[in-house]
Structure 1
């Protein structure tokens, strides 16, 4: 999917230098896969709660790809 398709489907964009992460709360099943993986990237105590630059783009992509619900998506820059 491209960025416009994700936004049209209700995903919110979290921009990074090398990767953009998209999240849709309506799709999330709260498995906690993301927040238990890389706390520096996915941290519910921070605003915004996703910091796409807090780890390598490859590490972020690996975690996002493992999201069981599809609530997280990414696009490499």
Structure 2
């Protein structure tokens, strides 16, 4: 699992679970940018916006770690 920090949380990403449904990139494109490195740019949204979007991940590849 790769992690990306945001304030007092981390965004977790498990590539092997990802089904590339693109809910993250379509829902919050200023943070989730599959063509960029790093592809998760947490500084571009509020913590709550990120938490809300991660909750919509259909595969569970994205998670919030407290």
- The alignment's TM-score, normalised by the length of structure 1, stands at 0.77
Structure showing the higher helix proportion among its residues: 2
Aligned to 1:48: 38
Distance change (3 Å), C-alpha of 1:55 and 1:18? farther
Gaps of 5+ in 2: none
Separation (CA, whole Å) in 1 of partners of 2:58 and 2:38: 22
Partner secondary structure for residue 29 of structure 1: coil
Which residue in the other structure is 1:64 paired with? 54
TM-score between both structures, scaled by the size of structure 2: 0.89
Say what the alpha-carbon RMSD is for the aligned residues: 1.2
Structure (1 or 2) with the greater strand fraction: 2
Q: Which runs of 4+ in 1 moved over 6 A?
A: none
Aligned residues: 66
**Structure 2 CA distance for aligned equivalents of residues 70 and 30 of structure 1:** 11
Larger Rg: 1
